Amino acid sequence: MSTTAANQGTPSDIFSQLTTYDHEQLVFCQDNHTSLKAIIAIHNTVLGPGLGGTRVWNYASDAEAINDVLRLSRGMTYKAAISGLNLGGAKAVIIGDAKTVKTEALMRKFGRFVENLHGKYITAEDVNTTTKDMEYVNMETKHVVGLPESMGGGGDPSPVTAYGTYMGMKASAQFVWGNDSLSGKKIAVQGIGKVGGHLIERLHAEGAQLFISDINEDVLKHYSKELGATVVKGDEIYSLDVDVFAPCALGAVLNTENISKLKCKVIAGAANNQLADENVHGPMLVEKGIAYAPDFLINAGGLINVYQEHIGYNRETAFRNTEHIYNVTLDIYKVAASKNIHTQRAAIELAEKRIADMKSVKATY
């Protein structure tokens, strides 16, 4: 095993990024035999060990991978803090095409790198990783959650993530329309993966009118047939005349170009880092009169689920704690309105306050 610097970007550039996002640690992992090329970012461990999933993605460059893992790990810190969990924020990315790079040996070698951090980082599944991958990681380290139920874990966390997103969407409806019913509401869901699939099933059960978009044609055909959802092609989803837009794919889709097309009144989705630039696009949504449910708040169900696994798994408790997202979302809307700030900023301030308060608590031995 060895560590290596990124191929793109000088050390000073990387430290500048770490300073900008206020990270504690960035770990580069490389192994020739398994072709492992991974980055682990540990953002903040004031509240507890950094927990965050490992995603496998074919990044265009090492610099792009670094930027992604830094943004994602920062989001995990806020997600844990605002959810009242005793966890810090971290994330890992494995660079490469998941269809070709993932092997038992690669995942176990990654597990060795996780083990070398002695519990400061706890990993879990994420985009393009599965509970089976976490089984392989678990062969080399105990610092992993998201394990199958047969191993005492919580299994697939996506139903709980979807439930939290659903709670955030209903709270947003309550804030905007004075009623949290989604029956009859036109809802566009971008990304029908594991979380998006569970989400649209809940929305269909409540009587919502669904519009769906995804790169997987088979998934679209399935849900179009089963739920009567209307299939939308590519970027057309941004300009639909709908009540709610739910980004549930990758991040940074709320940029200047896409926001200008939106006709919805609510944005509430499961994707991470939806705002391309929170300081620009958070206020832009306010100007357009769109209520934005902060992503790291309403997609926290998966983290709540694996945290429950970390302390002793109970499925009912995980869902019950996730339901609290509804009340916190309403609180965020009220705080944002009273302070005249956008909701992402209000949520970040609440998360940072808890971290600062707990840092003060821990300041004495």
Catalytic sites, residue numbers: 91
Of 152, 165, 156, 207, the residue nearest 182 (C-alpha)? 207
HSE toward the beta carbon, residue 216, CA cutoff 13 A: 13
Q: Are the CB atoms for 213 and 231 separated by under 8 Å?
A: yes
Give the list of residues 6+ apart from residue 352 with CB closer than 8 angstroms, or none: 78, 81
Residue type at 277? Answer: D
Distance, in Å, from the CA atom of 11 to the CA atom of 291, rounded to the nearest integer, reads: 40
